[in-house]
Amino acid sequence: MSQYTPMILQYLQVKADYQDAFLFFRLGDFYEMFFEDAIKASQELEITLTSRDGGSTERIPMCGVPYHSAANYIEQLVEKGYKVAICEQVEDPKTAKGVVKREVVQLITPGTMMEGKGIAEKENNFIASITSFDDRSFGLAYTDLSTGEGHVTFIDSDFEQVVNELSILGVKEVVVSEIFDDLFIKQLKERNHITISFENDTEIKTEFARIIADIESGELKQTVIRLLNYLHRTQKRSLDHLQPITTVDLHQFMKIDYYSKRNLELTETIRSKGKKGSLLWLLDETMTSMGGRRLKNWIDRPLIDSRAIEKRHLLVEIFMEHFFERQELRERLKEVYDLERLAGRVAFGNVNARDLIQLKHSLQQVPAIHAIMEQFHHEEALKLSNSLDPCEELTDLLERSILENPPISVKEGGIIQNGFNAELDQYRDASRNGKTWLARLEQEERNRTGIKSLKIGYNRVFGYYIEVTKSNLHLLEEGRYERKQTLTNAERFITPELKEKEALILQAEEKSTELEYELFLQIRESVKEFIPRLQRLAQIISEIDVLQCFASVSEKRHYVKPIFNKERKIVIKDGRHPVVEKVMDAQEYVPNDCYMDKEREMLLITGPNMSGKSTFMRQIALTSILAQIGCFVPASQAILPVFDQVFTRIGAADDLISGQSTFMVEMLEARNAIMNATQNSLILFDEIGRGTSTYDGMALAQAIIEYIHDRIGAKTLFSTHYHELTVLEENLEQLKNIHVSAMEQNGKVVFLHKIKEGPADKSYGIHVAELAELPHELIVRANEILAELEENSDQVKETPKMKEETVQAQLSFFEEPNTKVKQETSSKDKKILEELKSINLLEMNPLQAMNVLYELQKKIKS
């Protein structure tokens, strides 16, 4: 270390405490990075890598970014999952003895970003902490530093449930102790791409007492304190805006695991990973950022308390009945800025005058919103409106103190209203009078010299000056003007009178700017006192926003109010898939009914590909979720049970990260449903078993159907292409066959998208292949093979029920022979039989099996 210069030594000492972060080291107007940080940052940010002499024999790698544009570079690194430590000069270079003292003033991480493009307006940016109590119980705390909201929950399950919660919440950073299980950390990094941070301090600090006051469990309190201590250590500033942590009981909400949420495309689509095409996209007609976040939270956590759900339905109904008032309310809400994040910026100390003007404009809408809500003349609406706090004292303070169109910078003046502070008014008056005097002096000098182009100007380096073009210099009176600066085409001068007045004007302006900044800081501190009231106001406004949003969507799309029953009955008439219906706006969507009761617990759905089986299944789940978040539903009538969980297995995709095949993913998701579902759950299984050979797949599908039917009793929709399974209706009392109808017209298949009772009679697989425009020759050949198979096959569509006795892994497609095979077989027949015995069907897909069967059939015929 002794070989380096004092400045590089200082850099290395600071860097030692931030090994897992890029260190932005302030040198003048740049943030510089050295050594490995410089090499890696130059690659990630695509900036020039240079080097400098640091006292050692070899030059040190170096790169840097300008101080004024550093925010963009920091954001790029953080979006990629990195951490950035900001190291500033903390003493005046003029008074420093030796190297200027520097310290890290903030650590910016994926979970602690307060602003920028990476922070979506209508999404939370959560940072979480996890505490492991044993292998099957965990504490999970999470907070959004930008809004101040925070929650903690106890998870009495395996770590997979923790991962599931983190995925649903979209957590970007997790704080754990250094002794946290390495396997869990590896799982978080690989599957969720989460940044891992460490914090061992779980000592309760005095300033956090109010935040953890409502937490009863000591274990959960420890989880929260770990998170708060990490934020305190890394952010090094006020956390006054953090709201009291609320304890979330996951059993009070409908459980939808991450895979089911993805399969149903609740908040993002499977293909694009974007919002467009999701249920959130359909519903989001909120007018505020706070409402958008609240909507997403409601979709993530549907209610299971029927009274709470029906209260939301009642309010949505009230909003729907008052169209004109609702439209006026939407206009008012449009003028409300993000109160939660504005409060966060106030507490964090990075709020500017324009932010405070936004806050003032938002508060000015509250009385109007209250008045509109009163026009509904309903007790529940009045409860909401009476909860609105207009914070009149704060509105008055901001009205009196901050100019309407202030600059972005808070250190250059032009922020405070005239009349707010007497001393500031005096400075401004001196400055204003001085400038009037300057204008008068300029006119006098023009008259005295006869130079019409003479002007008095100002710059920061030379102060005030009299500028005369070189062609007019001969008109100046000698001895009166003192040369100050020479330009290409002009000379700048100063006179004794101008020099005297300059000192007075500049002193007044400097003091005025300093005083404005001090006053702004005082106003900011006053606003801090209102943070809890602002946060409560934000919660009420966001709830009003989501409810009016539900009413607007329900009215526009002709949704109906659902009715709940305790008999676990589903009656949906003219049900539609809400998102598909919106996408198909120009076309007519084909609605479908769904009826299920205690005698119809399971529906086995058959029908060709592209006919709408998956859409029908999804729309039942989405209808239930819409109902339980408090929205009306896409149907002409909807009678529903309250579901405690929704499980789906729809679509097929390899989990490449964990190295699992499509079939393994399918089986894991099926296991999750089977192991966790109750009688009050909803299960959607789409073509379970298709990822393996025909016999294996069919055996598994039947076994799963029987297990759910006999052991669980959950409402289940099971689609399949195994038509042999339709005979299960004869043995399973609560299972009924339904199918999506299709018809042939002029040799082409026409999908009717209509659900009918009974099994499908054909699969239309070759027709679908034809629609996909496979080569004509291939289609012709497939039809030939199909015709021969249908003509010659002696298969019997009968599937034995796997209940009373253990059955082999394969299902029998052939009738057992009633008589023994004759002993007198020809040598040719024996050869064919031996070939048949040698075939391993388990290693074949259906097409290969069909081809082998075709070849054997040709041999027998010949």
Nearest to 353 by CA among 517, 238, 509: 517
The helix-helix angle for 306-321 and 531-556 (nearest 10°) equals 70
- How are beta strands 150-155 and 482-486 bridged, if at all? unpaired
- 852 contacts 839 by C-beta, under 8 angstroms: yes
Say whether 676 counts as a known binding-site residue.
no
Tell me how far CA of residue 400 lies from CA of 393, 408, 411, 423, in angstroms.
11, 19, 19, 16
Say whether 846 counts as a known binding-site residue.
no
Say whether 150 counts as a known binding-site residue.
no
Say whether 610 counts as a known binding-site residue.
yes
Say whether 296 counts as a known binding-site residue.
no
Say whether 612 counts as a known binding-site residue.
yes
Nearest to 200 by CA among 174, 222, 226, 235: 226
DSSP state of 708: I
Residues 641, 682: Cα–Cα separation, whole Å: 10
Instruction: Classify 655 as helix, strand or coil.
Output: strand
Strands in 661-773 per DSSP E: 682-686, 715-719, 735-745, 748-757
Tell me how far CA of residue 622 lies from CA of 81, 302, 578, 579, in angstroms.
33, 11, 8, 9
CB-facing half-sphere around the CA of 161: CA atoms within 13 A: 19
Say whether 613 counts as a known binding-site residue.
yes
- 182 contacts 151 by C-beta, under 8 angstroms: no
Residues 779, 71: Cα–Cα separation, whole Å: 59
Q: What DSSP string describes 191-206?
A: HH-PEEEE----PPPG
Residues 714, 706: Cα–Cα separation, whole Å: 12
Say whether 609 counts as a known binding-site residue.
yes
Q: For residues 442-470, b (16+ Cβ closer than 10 Å) or e, as one string?
A: beebeeebebeebebeeeeeebbbbbbee
Residues 682, 249: Cα–Cα separation, whole Å: 21
Bridge partners (DSSP) listed for residue 151: 142, 246
Nearest to 480 by CA among 466, 490, 461, 469: 466
Known binding site for ATP: residues? 607-614
Binding residues: 607-614
